[in-house]
Chain A
């Protein structure tokens, strides 16, 4: 059977290679599409090879679980709307974390079972997984801890983005309680890793780890979710790598580590785009500063869709700033239709995208790409900001915190220091917004009260539809 093991090891090697090449291809727009295909082939090879492992039992059960899991995820992933992608990533990521935690649990409980057999004096034959080494045990515990946190945390992130958990759960002393729960999980984990393999200990360890993921994520506001999901993505990668060490599976080690490192860097890039540290995101209790914010003078001035359409139809340069509101309203197609009508009239239209607009970096790019907006009309924050003073009309659709001038002017504001799109510098600003409420971060937006800003109240899709029809009446 030696040759079979060699073939299986070769399959794992091929899988690891395909994962790395696939991710590499995914990091360039031109090759991105077949990158996922390469990685997919790698996954298929690895899974088939695992079925062929010689000392596997319960193959029927494994096949059943794989088929159910794949079918459920495939179905849900296919039918979900593009706008719901962030929470789906969170959900699937949580599943991966849960799987890593389950591997850790299975290993720990089987070690514990063996330990008891030994104490009872029964004969103990070393099968497959013999008595665990110290490093193996420690990594199993560590992987289980990180995987559990990623599992429960990602599920909370999913529920929040799905709109099932609107409130932020904040209570005094929360940080201390969270820290105690974490400390408890770490201490128990250390006890288990040092060889105290008792089943109640392991159970309490998992309960604490899961509770920590829950409690750590609950107080974090929706605006910070992209960073949090990315962090849990890196967590799951690490947990997979650690459990890979325990199972001596090279494909898991390499794929998990690569994702852990890539995810960590991605998290840093996102946090930097919001001008905040990761620690601040996790423990800062965003928006709960309590200090009196600067009073904002003036009032919100409404505008009718017809006036707004005329204003833009006769403008020379229009910059459209999309935000999460556009995603929620599924307005990207209508917005692009409107933009095309403007372009036909000779207006120079550009889309300006803030790095953290939406619920994931690049969220807006993906939606605009879906609607068919060409790349060259989409500008990054650094490129577009100098152009705002020459812009006649800035049309803000469902964006709020990323265009809030308070980030530059009010040191007491929780978003102070975050780089923003400088739309207030445009000659006119039109803001499409559902109501007068504050944004996700719960902060008043000084832009809405500015002298050059007009509010077009309504759902993003409806408002864009009105603008389109008003523009069409101008043509005739």
Chain B
């Protein structure tokens, strides 16, 4: 169990971590990073799974099911899009600059 103050400490430290990660990022990576953080909050899938796993009434089941669907979409879609964006950073650098010279 997480008590109130421990939760606040976690919140504070995690917030600083997030801030520091972004603070010195070149503009070129803003889009992939936004997409990447979009993927990371796909962890909401875990919460939706727990909610569906504890659902008792039909109504809760429906909400939980929708939640898991959406959460899975967030995680999978976020991953694919980020990966495709970063894919383009691979070959272009060494190959293309040689080509230009």
Which of the residues B15, B56, B69 comes within 8 Å of A69, measured between beta carbons?
Answer: B69
Please report the C-alpha to C-alpha distance between residue A239 and residue B72 in the assembled complex, in whole angstroms: 16
- Contact partners of B90 in chain A: CB under 8 A: 33
* A229 adjacent to B67 (CB under 8 Å): no
Contacts of B60 in A (CB 8 A): 106, 109-110, 113
Residues of A within 8 A of B34 (CB): 89, 229-230, 233, 263, 266, 360
In the bound complex, CA of A82 to CA of B85 (Å): 8
B85 cross-chain contacts in A, Cβ below 8 A: 82, 85, 366
Q: Are A27 and B22 in contact (CB under 8 A)?
A: yes
Q: Is there an interface contact between B93 and A92, defined as CB atoms closer than 8 Å? A: no
Residues of B close to A80: CB separation below 8 A: 81
Q: Known contacts being A249-B46, A369-B89, is A96 close to B79, with CB within 8 Å?
A: no
Is B74 a contact of A95 with CB atoms below 8 Å?
yes
Question: What's the nearest-Cβ distance from chain B to residue A263, in Å?
Answer: 6
Find out whether the CB atom of B1 lies under 8 angstroms from the CB atom of A103: no
Distance between Cα atoms of A303 and B57 in the complex (Å): 69
Whether the pair A102, B70 counts as a contact (CB closer than 8 A) is yes
Write out, one digit per residue, whether chain A residues 344-375 have a CB within 8 A of any chain B CB (1) or not (0): 00000000010100001111011001101111
Complex Cα distance, B22 from A269, in Å, reads: 10
Q: Report if A305 contacts B (CB, 8 A).
A: no
- Bound Cα distance from A276 to B29, whole angstroms: 21
Pick the contact of B18 from A40, A249, A257, A370 — CB < 8 Å? A257
Tell whether, in the assembled complex, residue B17 and residue A109 are in contact, meaning their CB atoms are under 8 Å apart: no
A20: interface (CB < 8 Å) = yes
Give complex CA distance A289, B92 in Å. 44
Knowing A103-B48, A106-B67, say if A262 contacts B22 (CB, 8 Å): yes
Find chain B residues with CB under 8 A from A261 CB: 14-19, 22
CB pair A266–B33 under 8 Å, yes or no, is yes
Q: A96-B74, A103-B47 are in contact. Are A269 and B18 (CB under 8 A)?
A: no
In the complex the two chains form, is B41's CB within 8 Å of A56's CB?
no
Q: Chain A residues near B35: list those with CB within 8 A.
A: 85, 89
Determine which of B10, B23, B61, B97 lies in contact with A254 in the assembled complex, contact meaning CB atoms within 8 Å.
B10
Q: Which of A50, A55, A361 contacts B27 (CB 8 A)?
A: A361
Interface residue ranges of B46-66 to A (CB < 8 Å): 46-57, 59-61, 63-66
A270: Cβ under 8 A from any B Cβ: yes
Chain A residues in 8 Å Cβ range of B42: 43, 92, 96
A32 → chain B closest CB, angstroms: 5
Within 8 A of B (CB), among A17-39: 19-20, 22-24, 26-29, 32-33, 35-36, 39
Partner of A247, one of B50, B57, B64: B50
* Segment 62-101 of B: residues with Cβ below 8 Å from A: 63-93, 95-97, 99-100
Which residue of A70, A71, A265 is within 8 Å of B75 (Cβ)?
A70
**With a CB–CB cut-off of 8 A, which chain A residues contact B76?**
69-71, 73-74, 77
- How many A-B residue contacts, CB cutoff 8 Å? 393
For B40, give its contact among A29, A255, A377 (CB under 8 Å): A255
| Chain A hits for B87, CB < 8 A | 33
Q: Does A252 contact B (CB under 8 A)?
A: yes
Residues of B near A214 (CB, < 8 A) are: none
- In which size bucket is the chain A interface? 35 or more
| Distance, CA A261 to CA B22, complexed state (A) | 9
Contact A366 B54 (CB under 8 A): no
Q: Which one of B33, B75, B99 contacts A27 once the chains associate, using CB atoms below 8 Å?
A: B33
How far in angstroms is the closest Cβ of chain B from A321?
A: 15
From B32, B47, B96, B99, residue with most partner A Cβ within 10 Å: B47
Q: How far is the CA of A203 from the CA of B84 in the complex (A)?
A: 39
Residues of B within 8 A of A376 (CB): 97, 100
In the complex, what residues of A have CB within 8 A of residue B48's CB? Answer: 99, 102-103
Q: Write the nearest CB–CB distance from B66 to chain A, whole angstroms.
A: 5
Q: How far is the CA of A257 from the CA of B21 in the complex (A)?
A: 12
Q: CB-nearest residue of chain B relative to A86?
A: B31
Please name all residues of chain B whose beta carbon is closer than 8 Å to the beta carbon of A243 when the two chains form the complex. 44, 47
Contact B44 A259 (CB under 8 A): no
Cβ contacts under 8 Å, A380 to chain B: 27
Known contacts A85-B84, A99-B47, A110-B55; 8 further A-B pairs (Cβ under 8 A): A62-B53, A77-B79, A77-B80, A80-B81, A92-B77, A233-B38, A257-B18, A380-B27
Binding site for B on A (CB under 8 A): 15, 19-20, 22-24, 26-29, 32-33, 35-36, 39-40, 43, 46-47, 50-51, 53, 55-59, 61-62, 65-74, 76-78, 80, 82, 85-86, 88-89, 91-93, 95-96, 98-100, 102-103, 105-107, 109-110, 113, 128-129, 135, 229-230, 233, 236-237, 239-241, 243-245, 247-266, 269-270, 273, 340, 343, 353, 355, 360-363, 365-366, 369-370, 372-378, 380
Write the residues of chain B forming the contact surface with A, with a CB cutoff of 8 angstroms: 1-2, 4, 7, 10-11, 14-19, 21-57, 59-61, 63-93, 95-97, 99-100
Pairs across A and B, CB under 8 Å, 16 listed: A27-B22, A27-B33, A56-B54, A57-B53, A68-B69, A70-B72, A73-B75, A93-B74, A95-B77, A96-B41, A248-B1, A253-B14, A361-B27, A362-B28, A370-B92, A374-B97
10 closest A-B pairs (Cβ-Cβ)?
A69-B72, A102-B67, A261-B18, A77-B80, A56-B53, A73-B77, A96-B74, A257-B14, A99-B71, A92-B77
